[in-house]
Amino acid sequence: MKNKILILSFLLLLWILIYINLDSLTDFMVYTLAGLEKNTSLTNAIWFFIYEVPKVLLLLTLIVFVVGIVRSYFSPERTRKMLGGKKLFTGNVMASLLGIVTPFCSCSAIPLFLGFVESGVPLGVTFSFLIAAPMINEVALVLLFGLFGWKTALLYMSTGLLIAMVSGYIIGSLKLEKYVEPWVYQVKAGQLEMAEEKVFFVDRINVGIDAVKEIVAKVWIYIVIGIAVGASIHGYVPENFMAGLMGKSVWWSVPIAVIIGVPMYSNAAGIIPIVQALLEKGASLGTVLAFMMSVIGLSLPETIILKKVLKFQLIGIFVGVVATGIIIVGYLFNFIFV
Partner 1 sequence: MNIINVYVSGCANCKKLEQMCYNALQELQIDASVEKVTDLQEIMKTGILSTPGLEINGKMISSGKLPTQSTLVHWIQDNIN
Site of interaction with partner 1 (CB under 8 A): 75-77, 80, 103-105, 107-108, 110-112, 114-116, 118, 187-192, 194, 210, 308
Least separation, in Å, of the C-beta of 45 and partner 1?
36
Least separation, in Å, of the C-beta of 170 and partner 1?
24
Of 23 and 181, which CB lies nearer to partner 1 in the complex structure?
A: 181
Of 112 and 161, which CB lies nearer to partner 1 in the complex structure?
A: 112
Least separation, in Å, of the C-beta of 136 and partner 1?
18
Q: Which residues contact 297 (CB under 8 A, 6 or more apart)?
A: 131, 134, 135, 160, 163, 322, 326
Least separation, in Å, of the C-beta of 161 and partner 1?
22
Of 77 and 177, which CB lies nearer to partner 1 in the complex structure?
A: 77
Instruction: Using CA atoms of 134, 136, 137, 143 in order, give the dihedral in degrees to the nearest 10.
Output: 140
Of 211 and 322, which CB lies nearer to partner 1 in the complex structure?
A: 211
Quote the Cα angle for 67-71-73, to 5°.
135
Burial of 69 (0-12, 13-18, 19+ CB in 10 A): middle
d(CA 172, CA 126): 9
Least separation, in Å, of the C-beta of 105 and partner 1?
6
Of 14 and 105, which CB lies nearer to partner 1 in the complex structure?
A: 105
Instruction: Using CA atoms of 324, 157, 53, 229 in order, give the dihedral in degrees to the nearest 10.
Output: 10
Of 151 and 213, which CB lies nearer to partner 1 in the complex structure?
A: 213
Least separation, in Å, of the C-beta of 35 and partner 1?
46
- Helices (H), ranges, the chain: 2-20, 22-27, 41-71, 76-83, 90-101, 109-118, 123-135, 138-148, 150-173, 201-236, 243-246, 253-261, 268-280, 285-297, 300-306, 312-336
d(CA 63, CA 273): 19
Least separation, in Å, of the C-beta of 112 and partner 1?
5
Residue 163 near residue 325 (C-beta atoms within 8 A) = yes
Q: Around 74, how many Cα atoms within 13 Å sit in the side-chain half-sphere?
A: 20
Of 66 and 110, which CB lies nearer to partner 1 in the complex structure?
A: 110
CA 260 to chain centre: 18
Of 55 and 71, which CB lies nearer to partner 1 in the complex structure?
A: 71
d(CA 82, CA 163): 21
Least separation, in Å, of the C-beta of 277 and partner 1?
28
